[in-house]
Structures are given as C-alpha cells and as structure tokens.
A and B are shown apart, each in its own frame.
Chain A
Amino acid sequence: MKIQLIKKTDQKSVISLIIPFVSFLLALLFNAILLIIFGIDPLEAYTVMLKGSLGSSYALSETLVKAIPLMLTGLGVSIAFHMHFWNIGAEGQLAMGGIAAAFVALFLQDTIPPNLLLPAMVIFGGIAGAIWGLIPAALKSTLGVNEILTTLMMNYIAILSVEYLYLGPWRDPQGYGFPGTAKFPESAWLPSLTGRIHYGLIFALVGAVILWLILRFTKLGYEIRLIGENPKAARYSGINIGRNIVIVMLFSGGLAGIAGMAEVSGISRRLYTGLTVGYGYTAIIVAWLANLNPWGVLVVSFLMGALLIGGDQLQVAMQTPAAVAEILQGAILFFMLGGSIFNRYKLKILSGQQNTKAEVEHE
C-alpha cells in the first residue's frame, strides 16, 4: 500500500475552512501527549492558556497588543510574497522603524511642535523601514542579488544597531545603568484606544484595507499578480519588474517600519531590548497561514497573539519552564502549516491494484 499526494483539480472552500480546525485539534492532541510526558495535566494547561489569552478583557487586550506588530509586518511580507519576492527582513525593517521613531522622539522633540511629533514619528518610522526594504530591492533589480540573503543579513545589521544605540550613545544617563534610552516625552506616546491597545491597531486596519484595494483594484495589483505567477510573461508584456520590486518593497518595508514605530511609541515608550523579539520572523508564518490574504493576516495575527500570550500565561500560572510553552507553540504551527498542504492536494491511498501517477494530467 502506498499513500500519495495528488493535486486537487477543484478547490472547495468548505474544505479549506475545515482543514485549519482539524489541524489545530490534531496539534492539541499531540501536545496533550507531550504535556502528559512532562507531567502536566493537559486539560488544566489548555484552560490556563485559553483563559489567559481570550478569557478576560485584560487577556484579550494583551493578545491584541501582541497581534498589532504581527499584523503590520505580516501585511508587509505578504505583499512582497505575492510577487514571489522573498522578503524575510521584516524584523530588520521593524527595527529601523523603531530607531527612526526613537530618534524623532528623543532628539527632535524640541524642534518639532508637540502635536506634529507623532505624525513625524510615523513618517520617519515608515520611511526608515522602507529604506531598509529598498536596499535589497535595488540590489535585486539592478544586480540580481538574491533577496533572501540580503534581507536576512540586513536584519542583523538593524537588530544590532538597536542594541548599540540603547546600550551606547542613546543610553539614558539617568537610567541607573539599565539598558535603554530615556523615556519619550508624552507628546511622543501613541494614544491608547483602550487599555494597552494603541493606535497601531488602526494603522494595521488601514494597511489591510489599502493592500486589499491595491491587490484587487489597481494596475499595480495586476502587475504584482502577473510577476508572481510568471515573471517571464510579465516581462514579455512590457512590465518593468525591477520598478515593481522597488515599489512593493517600499510598501513592505514601510509597513514593518510603522510596526516598529508603534511598538516603541505605543508600548515601551523608549528604545530597549523588547523591540526585536521576532515579530518579523513570525510574520512570515502569519502571511503563509493567511494565504497572503490581507484580511486573513489580521485574523491569523490575532490567533498568533493569543498563542503567544497563552504560552506566557502557562509559565506564570503553572510554573512550567518557558521552553514548554515554546514547544507547544511550535507544534501547533507545525500542524497548521502541515495541514495547509491539503488546501491544494488530496491524499490518495493506493492499494497494489491502483495507479502510481496523479491522474489529473491527462491529455
């Protein structure tokens, strides 16, 4: 007996809705076994995670706080992925956005009128992220340099620059030696919507709408689709691929930059070590799980936020080691991503009597 993956000819939407649920349930089952092995009651652990992430207004707001940077960076990488430009540099673009926003808040607070300080931080943050995305884009479109390598390496530069700045020249002189810059003036704080949920959520929603409009209703969206599907056909039909890469990466990097701005201005209100905790990498998973759909990115980011917060709660409430939460999170993602293959393929169990070739490729 053999089992084989066969490409689906039709895509039933019902199935694609059921698949993530089944994957999730299987992941819970798998994790339950792990938890039992660790000597933890799985039911209790799941209850803690669920309550801690979604069970109260406080829990919900914490989940959203995590979801906001994931939404912004997820939207950013998804538009690049639409064009098959593999931007894995959202983390670095986010970091640069944070640095630029912090620069405005710390050093231009006296030059810029207080009511214009926040807009300036948004603009500087967005531009800084965009520039960080533009460099690999320009290298790719002029010299054909592989963007996976450049975007990845640009991450290290950005992340270590953040560290250098808050440990070195920008360190708060009144900080009693704690790593981090001085706190921003209040005019540089991103206002809250409710509790810790800040205006970054609005940025993310607006970003999703804009991306959806671009992809669905504009010439640029058509060109992005065509380049993603067949770059040779795109070139043949007169599309300037290099120009499109640059435009798309300005968007992509810009969104990540704004995520960085929102983090420093809405949450930490200073530049410190909590800025680069891997949102830009998680964004890649978010984008894939969302099938690159802007609305999907919003939903998946929220669920991912819940997963992260639930894991934190597990540590706090049940005193489990941090690694346990990470294992659970990893397994869930593994199952979800693994399950997504069934959106495009179906399993066929072959007995000795049957074919060994996918039968969809007939004449």
Chain B
Amino acid sequence: MNQAPKPIIQLMGITKQFPGVLANDQINLNIYSGEILALLGENGAGKTTLMNVLAGLYRPNSGRIIINGKEAAFSSPKNAIDHGIGMVHQHFMLVESLSVTENIILSLEKEGLVLPTREVAENIRALSEQYHLKVDSNAAIWQLSVGEQQRVEIMRLLYRGADILILDEPTAVLTPDEAKDLGRILRRMANEGKAIIIITHKLNEVTAFSDRVCVLRSGKAVFTCLTKDTNKKELAQEMVGREVLFQLKKSKCSPGSAVLSVENLQASNDKGLPALRDVSFRVCSGEILGIAGVAGNGQRELAEVLAGLRPASGGRVLVNGEEITNTSPINVINAGVSHVPGDRIGVGLASNLPVSDNLIMKAYRQPPITQGPVVKKKNILAFAKNLIAQFQIKTPSQETPVRLLSGGNQQRLILAREITASQGLIITVYPSRGLDVGATESVRKTLIEQRDIGRAILLISEDLDEIRQLSDRIMVMYEGRVMGILNAEGASIDTIGMMMAGQETKETKENAR
C-alpha cells in the first residue's frame, strides 16, 4: 500500500437530508490516491447517497468537498467528471444496441459530423493494455456478459480521465470468477495511482479488495481503519451495531417422503435455446436442496418451469405425486408450490400497490379474504396486519405502497406471503440477494424454520456461502445439466467449484443417477 500523505479528496461534514430521512449526517471521509477504499454498510446506511454527492448527482445540505486542497461545488455529474470523479452505478447506463466504442463516444459529448470511431477504438486498446482491462471495442453491448459490460463502464470513466472511480455494489451481478477478475483490475488501477471506492455490504469483498474501510451506519461514519487492522467480525458488529450470528444453528436434517420429483426435465430459454437438459432430482419434506451454479446455467429457467411460468419441452414434474408438468400457474399453486422469485420487483410484487394488496396475492381466492366474488376489506387488513406482525415487516401501514419499503422488508413481505400460502414445497431464488446482514440473517433463519416444520425447500442461489450454510444437499448445475448432487456436510468448496466449472469429479460420477 502506498498511502499518500495528503488526501486527494476530503469530505467534510457532509449532511444530506431527504424528506423524512437523514441519509448522511456530518460525514467526514478522506480519499487517497493509489488506495482502494471500501464503503461498508447495510442497505439504507447512506453509502450510495454519500457517493452520489461526491459524483455530483446530489447536492449536500451542508458540508464541503475539497479536492487537492481546493474546495469544489458540483452542480452535475459532468462537473464531477471534470474534476476527475466518475461512478459506475449498480444499473449500467449503456446503450444495448451500440458498440463499446460508440457508447464511449456518446459519453464524450464531442460534436461534429464524423464519428471518431477509429481514434477512440485505438485509445480504448491502449487503455485496455495499461489497466489489463479486457474490452472488445467492436462488440455490441447486448452481446457482452454483465461482467464485460461492467468493464465497459470502467473503461468509459478511464477514458474520460477519471482519477477517482466509485463502484456501487460492483460484484452484485458478477460470478465468483468475474469478481476475482474485477479485484485484479481494481488493484491494477490503484497501482497506477487511481483512487478507488467500492460501495458494498459484503464483508468478503472488503477483506478481499480493500486497503481501507469506512463503515456507515444510519447515515453516520462510525468506523474507519486499515483493512489489515480489522476483521470480519468486528466490521459486522460496526455495521449493524450488534453481534451477528454467522453460524446459523441448524438441527440435523430428517428428510421425509419426496415432495418434488423432477424427471428428465427439458426446457428452452428466452432465445429458444436449450436451457435444461435432462434434469432429474427430488426434494423431500424437511430438507433444503441447494442448487449451485454460475448464473445462466439453467437455474432461472428451472425455477420458472417448476412454478408453471415456462413450458417444459420434455420430462415430468411431480409435486406430492401429482403431475404438474405444463399446467397453468394456478394449478401449480394449488398443488402446494410456493415461489419466492429472484426478480422481486419485476415478478414478485406490484410495487405501486399497497402492502396489503401484495400480501394477499396468493390468499385472495379463499375465505376469509373473499367470499364468493366479493373481497372483504376488513379481513384483508386483518390478514395483512397479522402477517406484518408475524414476519416483522417494517412498514408505516398496510396501505403503504410496496415501492416505499426497503429491499429487506420487500423480501420479508414475499416470504410472509409465500410461507403462509405454502402447502409443501417452497422454491426460493436468490433469497437474500441485495439484502443487508440483518435481513439476510432473518431470511435464512426463516427458511430453516420452514425446513424444520417439514417443508421441502429448493434453494437457488449464486452465493456459495448461502448454499453451504442452508442446504442439506447441494446440486450443481452446469450448462443446463445436473453435474451431481452432494451431501452438504463435507462437501468441499473446491469440489463444488470444479463442478460449477463443468469438470467431472468422482462425486459427479457417483451421484449420477
């Protein structure tokens, strides 16, 4: 680490007030060249807000930004970029149909009739070599994987001469390998003298990537130190302000009869290409089957076929002995399948509708919520109130639109609904993605409770820690195939990793059935 004596940027007493929320409260923070700083905190701690202030998107209510000893006031992101500050947002801001070069030209705001395509492509190549940032300048954005798109975003900032790069939750969308690559790229950029800030709520990322860490809690900077002088446990405590259970208590699994049986299932993805090839497995009551795999190896399609949202092109799905292959979603629900979808906002919720309307999405067909064709408002509110209390959903009222809840509370809402409706099988996809430590813990505890009362749980996740922590058995998928099914106890990360990469291991052969 080459910590310069003088910080390149000093944030002094930054305060940002939103209607009803004090997002940043008198935050002081120094940023140094050549250093990777991790900004750690739970969802809603104010990390993104603080960085949006630095990137010129928000204007603070009070506080000063000092760059190289001189005070600066930003009125727009362009202003911040002119000062060398750039940000890669969680949702990429690229034009899908244009090429990498064209996207970068767009951001240069150059005028003139002729596109400087060749010149820009040449510069991209040079930068790409300097920072070991592999980018194909001719490819269209839609052809690139998420990890590659992220590199384009970084390239765009470098191209515009950014010296301070802010990345918001950079690994949230990446596979483990891509995350490792990103780590190398960030280190390389720091070595070249850039200041890097990553916003994260993942402790692993802090220890793996950063030189220094600053923990935000409820809008305040509560803890700053060199990463090597701290540990995960201390950081977690600072984040949530209380002890966190890292080891979930889990009783021994005592599986009952098979609830879900999948036999030689085949299905296609959105592009019509095979996504599931001959997938067979079963989940018994009282067990959690975790499905591990790099994103895009058929997990999403599997969940959708099981939930009745995507047609199967072959094979059979049985729930409690009843065949539900290619039937309608309502029949799948009636067969006892609950589904916590991976896309919370897009599929799991109607975000403009109130909490109560979202809670009854599965239960509204039966009394007491409806009697005949009539819905009973009073009973809906009672039902919602009950679930809100039981699952500790933090909401101002039952009438609050769901979009105003935090991610953790939205997920608790979905879990509350699905668990209440559950009659046997719970399919859960990325159940704790994007949630902070506290919410993750409560979601995982809930799933284990459900296992213990005899539900069969199918857990799809990209988070290997989550899979290993929760699962009783682990199934690994690769290119739409089942690579093998392991007992979670004693399954080594190396073995799972090899299977995720598509390599045959002795376990894959043993478990092939």
Contact = CB atoms under 8 A, between A and B. Distances in A.
A236 B307 contact: yes
A362 B18 contact: yes
Contact of B47 (A238, A353, A357, A363): A363
Interface stretch (A105-113, A193-201, A219-227, A252-260): A219-227
Given A226-B350, A238-B362, A218 B373 contact: yes
B43 A363 contact: yes
Interface string B433-450: 000000000000000000
A362 B49 contact: yes
A12 to B, nearest CB: 13
A318 B406 CA distance: 61
Nearest to A352: B75
A236 B47 CA distance: 33
A233 interface: yes
A236 B341 contact: yes
B364 A219 contact: yes
B199 to A, nearest CB: 10
Contact of B18 (A221, A240, A352, A359): A359
Nearest to B44: A363
A356 to B, nearest CB: 5
A14 B470 CA distance: 52
A233 B23 CA distance: 31
Nearest to A350: B75
Interface string B291-334: 00000000000000001010000000000000000001110111
Contact of A219 (B58, B307, B374): B374
Contacts of B49: 362-363
Contact of A225 (B309, B341, B353): B353
Given A238-B329, A354-B59, A222 B75 contact: no
Contacts of A362: 18, 21, 23, 48-49, 52, 58
B381 to A, nearest CB: 14
Given A222-B357, A226-B361, A233-B349, A355 B374 contact: no
B238 to A, nearest CB: 18
Contacts of B76: 355-356
A355 B309 contact: no
A354 B75 contact: yes
Which of B47, B360, B362, B373 gathers the greatest number of chain A CB atoms within 10 Å? B373
A232 B23 contact: no
Nearest to B365: A219
Contacts of B334: 238
Contacts of B341: 236
A355 B373 contact: no
Contacts of A352: 75
Which of B44, B47, B346, B375 gathers the greatest number of chain A CB atoms within 10 Å? B375
A80 B500 CA distance: 48
A348 to B, nearest CB: 12
A233 B364 CA distance: 14
A356 B58 CA distance: 8
A346 interface: no
Contact of A238 (B23, B43, B330, B357): B330
A229 interface: yes
Interface string B329-368: 1101110000101000011111111000100111011000
A232 B346 contact: yes
A233 B361 contact: yes
A226 B374 CA distance: 16
B353 A236 contact: no
Contacts of B48: 362-363
Interface string A187-220: 0000000000000000000000000000001111
Instruction: Across the A-B interface, give the 10 residue pairs with the lowest CB-CB distance, nearest first.
Output: A238-B330, A229-B350, A237-B361, A230-B350, A356-B76, A238-B333, A238-B329, A363-B48, A357-B57, A232-B347
